[in-house]
Amino acid sequence: MLKALLGAWALAACSAEETAAVEDHLGDCGACADEARRLREAVGLLQRPDSLDLDPALRTRVLESCLDRRPPRIPVPGWAMSYDAETARLDALLQDFGDAEWHAPVQLRWFRGADATSRRTTVAGVIAHLLAVDGLVAVALGLDDPLGPVTGGTAGKPVGSPAERTEAFWDASRFPPTRSVRGPWRDQTHALVRTASFTGGGTSLASEAERGGGPGTMPVSYGDFELPLRDALVDRAFECWVHAVDIAEAVDYPYEPPAPRHLHAMVDLAARMLPGALAERRRAGLTSPGEPRHLVTAGRPGRSLRLEIEGLGGGEWLIPLDSPAAVGSADHEVAHVALDDVEFCRLAAGHVSPEEAAAGQVGDSTAISDVLSAAAALSRM
């Protein structure tokens, strides 16, 4: 049947004999000649896709211009926006990945106590990690736990810490994660933003109303500590960016820092967590020896370190040094540290050691060293 060969002929994908036979036939058969012309023209329409990477900033611009024209009745809360933006940026990075990229090795790095730690996985393994840990927020919001099918689904009782959840998720499959993890990860990120929107406006979740908290105050358990929902989503946005950079480095792609206001939210969260991290280090006996301990009454000003973060995402924070319950105070400032916003985030992500972090320092060097170490201790798998 020469007719069946017309497609291959039009694409010049037949043997010389077949081509000759088809062309011979076209002289005699009007129907085939018509189709042949049509298919040849169609070949001319085949074009390589422009495969332009969409500018991630376009998303924000387009959405903002839409929302200006018609204000939303159910907005995405401000505290969920960095998560919305960062997950969209990472998803865009994954867009054109082939199998080689999905299986590229990635080294996860963080600090455990005072020690740099790392764990080897792949790009797909990193997305599985994000899926598993974002699941803590999902569970808090009453959504399905992505670990449910893995752990036999103990409803309402999520498996422990981020690291435990990740290992459980990785272990549950006999095979390493593949690109198929992208869909569930992305669906969950969308579900989190959607559900957070319904808690963020005037409509609080019943459980929040019960606790008497405002929107976004519902606690999210990380196993050994809790964050209010509004901070948990900023934390997850931060992790998403940090791991997007890990992935981008693994496949040799460029990756920009978050938009300034999102970066600022991340820096602010880390700065607010520093007093707790300092207390944790004290309990673990990791603080510098011989440090004078000043007892401070809760709610009173205490010895403080001025943390100056430079860059568009920056600002200034007074970190109380002796107790998380104390209030940072300029009058009791004993040291001043200045870091670039992205550098501070790399420190808090455990990607640069406290000794190596490029920080300008003035004042009590013990306090400075403790605060930088506490920042590194904020990092986790």
Partner 1 sequence: MAKKDAPPRWDRRMQQRLARGEAAALGELYDRFASLVHGLAHRVLGDERAADGVTREVFAHVWEHPDSYDPRQGPLRSWVAALTHRLAVQRLRATESAALALGGSGSTEELEDKVRHASVAARADYIVQSMPTPLRAALELAYFQRRDYRQTAADLGVTEDEARRRLRLGLQLLSTAHDAVAPGAPPGRYGGAA
Residue 197 within binding range of partner 1, rule CB under 8 A: yes
Q: How many CB atoms neighbour CB 142 within 10 A?
A: 12
DSSP 8-state code for residue 196: H
Distance CA 172, CA 256 (A): 33
Residue 33 within binding range of partner 1, rule CB under 8 A: no
Q: Which CB atom, from 65 or from 155, has the smaller least distance to partner 1?
A: 65
Q: Check residue 139 and give left, alpha or beta (phi > 0: left; psi -120 to 50: alpha).
A: alpha
Distance CA 303, CA 320 (A): 6
Tell me how far, at minimum, the Cβ of 24 lies from partner 1, in Å.
18
Tell me how far, at minimum, the Cβ of 103 lies from partner 1, in Å.
18
Q: Which of 20, 23, 24, 74 binds partner 1 (CB under 8 A)?
A: 74
Residue 42 within binding range of partner 1, rule CB under 8 A: yes
Tell me how far, at minimum, the Cβ of 145 lies from partner 1, in Å.
21
Residue 174 within binding range of partner 1, rule CB under 8 A: no
Q: Binding segment for partner 1 among 88-96, 330-338, 342-350, 355-363 (CB under 8 A)?
A: 88-96
Closest CA to 150 of 168, 167, 133: 168
Distance CA 342, CA 326 (A): 27
Q: Which of 22, 26, 32, 88 binds partner 1 (CB under 8 A)?
A: 88
Closest CA to 279 of 310, 263, 302: 302
Segment holding 294, helix H or strand E: none
Residue 182 within binding range of partner 1, rule CB under 8 A: yes
With tokens 């730690």, the residue in question is: 117
Distance CA 375, CA 349 (A): 8
Q: Which of 69, 120, 174, 283 binds partner 1 (CB under 8 A)?
A: 69
> Residue 295 CA to chain centroid, in angstroms?
38
Q: Which of 65, 202, 289, 331 binds partner 1 (CB under 8 A)?
A: 65
Distance CA 59, CA 53 (A): 12
Q: Which of 47, 152, 156, 283 binds partner 1 (CB under 8 A)?
A: 47
Residue 186 within binding range of partner 1, rule CB under 8 A: yes
Q: Is 193:83 a contact under the CB 8 Å cutoff?
A: yes
Residue 142 within binding range of partner 1, rule CB under 8 A: no
Q: Is the dihedral of CA 268, 271, 272, 273 positive or negative?
A: positive
Residue 358 within binding range of partner 1, rule CB under 8 A: no
Structure token pair of residue 118: 């790392």
Tell me how far, at minimum, the Cβ of 280 lies from partner 1, in Å.
35
Q: Which of 20, 43, 209, 284 binds partner 1 (CB under 8 A)?
A: 43
Q: Which of 21, 25, 29, 59 binds partner 1 (CB under 8 A)?
A: 59
Tell me how far, at minimum, the Cβ of 196 lies from partner 1, in Å.
8
Residue 295 within binding range of partner 1, rule CB under 8 A: no
Q: What angle do CA 201, 204, 327 make, to 5 degrees?
A: 85
Residue 91 within binding range of partner 1, rule CB under 8 A: yes
Q: How many CB atoms neighbour CB 206 within 10 A?
A: 9
Instruction: Give, as ranges, the residues between 93 and 112 that touch partner 1 (CB under 8 A).
Output: 95
Q: Which of 61, 211, 261, 272 binds partner 1 (CB under 8 A)?
A: 61
Q: Which CB atom, from 66 or from 114, has the smaller least distance to partner 1?
A: 66
> Residue 275 CA to chain centroid, in angstroms?
24
Distance CA 18, CA 4 (A): 11
Residues that bind partner 1 (CB under 8 A): 4-8, 10-11, 13-15, 35, 38-39, 41-43, 45-50, 52, 54-55, 58-59, 61-63, 65-67, 69-76, 84, 88, 91, 95, 182-183, 186, 190, 193-194, 197
